[in-house]
């Protein structure tokens, strides 16, 4: 009898100990979509569909009532109305793909992060929202296992590789993205070798990243904010991308250049002056300021 009660007691103790283990963070694999503000929807559609070659409101879009364009079968760019409360916030949401929204919600709450309710999207995905340390809207989405993409011959890029926004307190943002979510430093640099103005924080289980845009003055004008709040599209060859843009009707402004990170890049600006950066997947020369510490993105999904 003592053996029976002893065995039962051990089982109860083991079950109690397991219940006390903190939740494990599910994987966060990349950027699913980014929401940007547009003042004239049709004008913006003309830029993203005709100049960049993206398809509109197809498989990658997450809600039929939200205008968007597909980047590939798992990524899209959504269009939002400018916020009267904060007109400087041109990137209004960055949404990351995760293997489990329910598991990630439990994980964040166990770490003291206030989370929104899980809700379903029109493409059978589920997501929930949080705000980071500087009140940027961040969301996490669990997408269907299979998701076919739509590719057009005029499409310049098929991979959204990063998004950037203005950051004032790097330490506070690191406590959220690095310490809690597990993002890690991919690269950092600035216009001078001893200056840090751009901090690339890569997702823990993929190659996409977010970019802290530091040292931005509080009174920055609209153009400066458009440069800082940006999205970046990956391409294997910047010269080929430039030629396709010209075929699509883009009139060259800035020319391609090798950025401080050692990668070829080309900057375009949408009708609202939000920067759309085309960037080669891999560097062609040694970067300034710091070495890369994570894998580079590629064109395959």
C-beta separation of 111 from 93 below 8 A = no
Separation of alpha carbons 161 and 262, rounded Å: 16
Q: Is the pTM higher than 0.75?
A: yes
Separation of alpha carbons 20 and 2, rounded Å: 27
Q: Which CATH superfamily does the domain covering 160-280 fall into?
A: 2,3-Dihydroxybiphenyl 1,2-Dioxygenase, domain 1 (3.10.180.10)
Higher pLDDT among residues 52 and 13, named by residue: 52
Domain 28-142 maps to which CATH number in 3.10.180.10, 3.40.50.970, 3.40.630.10, 3.80.10.10?
Answer: 3.10.180.10
Q: Which two tokens stand for residue 73?
A: 């079968």
Domain boundaries, the chain: 28-142, 160-280
CB environment 259-276: b (16+ within 10 A), e (fewer): bbbbbbbbbbbbebbbbb
C-alpha closest to that of 212 among 223, 221, 202: 202
pLDDT tens digits along 61-94: 655 456 899 999 889 999 998 776 566 778 999 9
C-beta separation of 61 from 200 below 8 A = no
pLDDT tens digits along 186-208: 999 999 998 999 999 999 999 99
**Per-residue confidence band for 144, with pLDDT thresholds at 50, 70 and 90:** confident
């Amino acid at each position: 009898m003592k053996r029976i009660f002893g065995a039962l007691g051990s089982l109860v103790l083991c079950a109690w100990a397991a219940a006390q283990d903190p939740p494990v963070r599910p994987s966060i694999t990349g950027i699913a979509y980014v929401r940007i503000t547009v003042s004239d929807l049709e004008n913006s559609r003309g830029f993203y569909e005709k100049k960049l070659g993206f398809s509109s409101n197809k498989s990658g879009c997450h809600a039929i009532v939200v205008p968007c364009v597909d980047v590939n079968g798992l990524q899209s760019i959504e269009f939002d109305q400018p916020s009267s409360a904060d007109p400087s916030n041109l990137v209004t949401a960055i949404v990351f793909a995760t293997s489990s929204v329910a598991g990630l919600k439990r994980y964040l709450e166990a770490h003291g992060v206030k989370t929104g309710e899980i809700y379903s999207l029109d493409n059978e995905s589920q997501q929930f929202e949080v705000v980071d340390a500087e009140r940027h809207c961040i969301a996490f989405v669990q997408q269907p296992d299979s998701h076919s993409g739509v590719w057009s011959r005029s499409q310049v890029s098929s991979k959204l590789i990063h998004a950037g926004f203005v950051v004032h307190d790097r330490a506070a943002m690191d406590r959220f993205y690095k310490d809690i979510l597990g993002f890690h430093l991919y690269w950092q640099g600035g216009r001078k070798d001893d200056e840090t103005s751009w901090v690339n924080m890569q997702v823990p289980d993929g190659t996409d990243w977010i970019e802290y845009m530091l040292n931005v003055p509080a009174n920055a004008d609209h153009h400066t904010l458009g440069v800082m709040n940006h999205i970046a599209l990956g391409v294997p060859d910047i010269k080929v991308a430039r030629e396709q843009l010209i075929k699509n009707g883009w009139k060259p402004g800035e020319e391609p250049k090798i950025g401080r990170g050692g990668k070829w890049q080309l900057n375009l600006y949408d009708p609202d002056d939000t920067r759309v950066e085309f960037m080669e997947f891999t560097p062609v020369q040694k970067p300034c300021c710091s070495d890369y510490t994570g894998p580079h993105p590629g064109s395959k999904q």
